[in-house]
């Protein structure tokens, strides 16, 4: 191979390597953009679901239930959860008894809240949502989880007492709560403390206000209009 041919081959190889590097870079950027777009869609879907009236009603119910439990020492909360499950389990939505129908509605509100939190916990585990993204949407998730975890454990105990035909024949808990709870504790220490403070606006000074510019009411000459 001649010297000229060697130079040509080296040049072509260098160009090919550069094109390969650029191709890999653009492919990486496309994958990154697609991932960011997917995360944005998931976050927007989460925000839309958070505004659902049924979910809002469920979260309000959990808040009121937690407030009633706070009058009792926390070491008695397992008994409160057990009583709640025994009172609500197996009720019918179509019952003519108003009291039974109300209990079923409370059971359904618990279910809606639990499924929302467990589903978003899975999205965090899979990397579709970050802890800060989710807990910024629902910063009171800890107040909801502290009630739901006790109730979910009581539900598991309530239905596990029945005869099973195999090892897999048993109810599964919302196992996502096992990771969601410590995630919330970590997020609260890192971000939640600062985000729980709402600073009031300083109305004592207007130094940051933009000055009002005087209005020029004179008719511009053609020369001035051309410059404008």
Give per-residue pLDDT as tens, 71-83. 999 999 999 999 9
Q: Give the pLDDT mean for 196-215.
A: 68
How many structural domains does the chain have?
1
Q: Does 81 map to a domain?
A: yes
Q: Does 189 map to a domain?
A: yes
Q: Provide the H-helix boundaries in 70-97.
A: 77-88
Q: Does 98 map to a domain?
A: yes
pLDDT of residue 86: 95
Q: Does 8 map to a domain?
A: no
pLDDT band at 224 (very low <50, low <70, confident <90, very high): very low
Q: Does 130 map to a domain?
A: yes
Residue 94's domain spans which residues? 52-161+172-194
Helix (H) or strand (E) holding 130: none
Q: Does 40 map to a domain?
A: no
Query: Is it the case that residue 226 has pLDDT exceeding 60?
Result: no
Which residues neighbour 1 within 8 Å (Cβ) at sequence distance 6 or greater?
A: 9
Query: Is it the case that residue 153 has pLDDT exceeding 70?
Result: yes
Structure tokens at 90: 């197996």
Q: Does 220 map to a domain?
A: no
Q: Does 26 map to a domain?
A: no
Here the contacts of 46-55 (C-beta below 8 Å, separation 24 or greater) are 46/120, 46/123, 46/129, 46/133, 46/134, 46/137, 47/137, 49/116, 50/137, 50/138, 54/109, 54/112, 55/112, 55/113, 55/116
pLDDT band at 109 (very low <50, low <70, confident <90, very high): very high
């Amino acid at each position: 191979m001649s010297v000229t041919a060697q130079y040509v081959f080296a040049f072509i190889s260098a160009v090919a390597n550069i094109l390969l590097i650029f191709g890999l870079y653009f492919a990486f950027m496309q994958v990154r953009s697609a991932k960011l777009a997917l995360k944005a869609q998931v976050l927007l879907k989460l925000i839309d679901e958070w505004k659902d009236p049924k979910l809002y009603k469920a979260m309000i119910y959990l808040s009121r239930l937690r407030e009633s439990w706070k009058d009792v020492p926390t070491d008695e909360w397992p008994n409160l959860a057990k009583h709640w499950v025994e009172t609500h389990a197996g009720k019918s939505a179509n019952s003519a008894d108003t009291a039974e129908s109300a209990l079923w509605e409370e059971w359904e509100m618990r279910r809606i809240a639990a499924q929302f939190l467990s589903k978003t916990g899975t999205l965090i585990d899979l990397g579709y949502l970050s802890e800060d993204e989710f807990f910024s949407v629902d910063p009171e998730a800890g107040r909801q989880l502290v009630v739901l975890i006790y109730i979910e454990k009581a539900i598991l105990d309530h239905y596990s007492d029945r005869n099973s035909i195999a090892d897999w024949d048993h109810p599964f808990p919302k196992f996502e709560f096992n990771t969601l709870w410590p995630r919330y504790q970590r997020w609260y220490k890192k971000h939640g403390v600062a985000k729980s403070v709402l600073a009031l606006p300083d109305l004592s000074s207007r130094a940051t206000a933009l000055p009002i510019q005087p209005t020029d009411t004179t008719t511009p000459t053609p020369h001035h209009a051309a410059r404008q």
